[in-house]
Structure 1
């Protein structure tokens, strides 16, 4: 059994239950109510690693975030669960309500942040939001099927972050990252574009974000934006999508039909495809140590999940 993307689905089906579940649904186009899909879904929800993340969410937001690429923080664990296909129905209602309760007056979802004094913060934990965290929380909730007035308010706020030049470095704190005030932040723009994939009728906002991300790719040799460059580390294949890197960018941009045929996106995807082995499998090139126990948390063997991810990207762009 194989797809048109040089990937053996039988091999993918030997992976963890979240790989099996998504392969059956996405690559093999089986219905949610098919027995095989249901069994894979049940196994996914009951898997110790998934259950561990779900249990952790009961203590949301667990601890103050000091840096946004802290892969062990629950905002990233929530996003991984959403990526896998875990829904709000799989979580205790108290978990969702706890996350929703962390909402600012503007509409953005907040977490506890600790910004050091030398970066312009108070040096103490404070409940706040930034454009490089709130959109990720909204993405996860939308992907999980959460609805309601809190979500509507957050969606409206998300749209307000988008300017003609992407998403600026902004938040409830006056503190900004290390960059020019009028530059867009590549990471924040990517997270907003990721959240917009879950919202209908936002092509105008999506185009503004994706235009800037592809502009950054096109002009990668000119200068970094808020220290985000496109070099060797950017090109290393890595999951989860915690930071600004090639797989994260391709995963988001490939979901927009209006970008099919864009030469810049093709360049990005061609680099990823060049990293497949002769069987079409993907081996992680960099890892987040917080995910050491997962198949994408090592660099010695192909990852079922990351191989599926690349196959899904190629499938989107071929349809």
Structure 2
């Protein structure tokens, strides 16, 4: 596929050659949803999974594309166009604005290097202002009714929020984030479906999924490893040892990947992934750091 918006030589310098075909495959989907940059004509940014705007940006970053490449700078502008003055992101043109949606948008922008942008500083404060009583973040949307389990926060949005916060000045400096970490550590004990959206720690959670898309063991351990509150906690260490037991010669083997990504080389199911192993190496580095 011709990538006229990129200089091929520059792209090859940033991305290892074995991943150029993966990049081309992801870019080939950029108009699938009816508009450019994986969006719909009315700017739905989360539609079209696993090739939504947010998904695709994270894949390209994972593959080594610089946030300064024109396609990613344009995507950042598109995401920021959904930002609201109160710090939230409206990623759908109509309907409610939920914390889970804002967490996704903020997390992607932080991965792109915008954590210090004044708009995201407002978003961080917004999250601190709306933190739920159990320490996590929770959407007032009850797809599964109003059982007692829905009195908890939603684990994945909480994990996404913590992933964004790790790029900020709040990392290991804000007690509210320790409360969020504690909420997620306690879910390791509870295991059962909790939150309005029924996130559980079960068979699927325990399968190593890559790239990071869903609430699963690998992403759980990865994000929490940045937080000093977690690193010496027995619950975190149990989760880490579970992940470690799944490695083969120190490498991460992908156990689950969404079918539409199955042909991409960086995340082949049943095979060691070099890029996933780099994330695992970050976990090891984090555990060896003082806090």
Structure 1 and Structure 2 fold alike (TM over 0.5)? yes
Q: 1:283 aligns with which of 250, 253, 256?
A: 253
Contact 2:46 2:53 in 1 (8 A): no
Higher relative contact order (CA 8 A, sep 6+): 1
Aligned equivalent of 1:106, options 82, 86, 89: 86
SS of match in other structure, 1:167: coil
Q: What are the Cα deviations for residues 38-74 of structure 1, in whole angstroms up to 9, with x where unaligned?
A: 9752547x93433564683982461347889x32222
The aligned counterpart of 2:136 is 167
Question: Does 2:75 align with 1:95?
Answer: yes
Instruction: Report the equivalent of 2:22.
Output: 49
The answer to whether the 8 Å contact 1:283/1:301 transfers is yes
What is the CA–CA distance in structure 2 between the aligned matches of 1:296 and 1:131, rounded to whole Å? 30
3-state SS in 2 of match to 1:166: coil
SS of equivalent to 2:282? helix
| CA–CA separation in structure 2 for the residues paired with 1:247 and 1:90 | 28
What does residue 7 of structure 2 align with? none
Aligned length: 264
Q: Which runs of 5+ in 1 are unaligned?
A: 1-37, 113-124
Counterpart Cα distance in 2 of 1:158 and 1:82: 25
- Say which of 184, 191, 194 aligns to 2:153: 184
Q: Is 1:213 the counterpart of 2:181 in the alignment?
A: no
Aligned pair 1:135/2:108, yes or no?
Answer: no
2:38 and 2:53 in contact (8 A); partners too: yes
Q: Is the 8 A contact 2:209 2:257 kept in 1?
A: yes
Q: Which deviates the most, 199-208 or 210-219?
A: 199-208
Which residue is equivalent to 2:220? Answer: 249
Could you tell me which residue of structure 2 aligns to residue 81 of structure 1?
60
With the length of structure 2 as denominator, give the TM-score of the two structures. Answer: 0.78
Question: 1:109 deviation in Å?
Answer: 1.9
Contact 1:296 1:303 in 2 (8 A): yes
Task: Output the aligned Cα RMSD.
Answer: 3.1
2:272 to 291, 302, 313: 302
Q: In the alignment, which of 186, 189, 200 is matched to residue 169 of structure 2?
A: 200
Maintained 8 Å contact 2:46/2:52: no
Q: TM-score, normalised by structure 1?
A: 0.71
Change beyond 3 A, Cα 1:224–1:109: closer
- What residue number does 1:258 align with? 229
Gap change, CA 1:280 and 1:264, over 3 Å in 2: same
**2:55 aligned counterpart, secondary structure:** helix
- Of 186-195 and 89-98, more deviation after overlay is shown by 89-98
User: Does the 8 Å CA contact 1:214/1:264 hold for their aligned counterparts?
Assistant: yes
Cα 1:201–1:149, aligned 2, differ >3 Å: closer, same or farther?
closer
Deviation at 1:134, TM superposition (A): 1.7
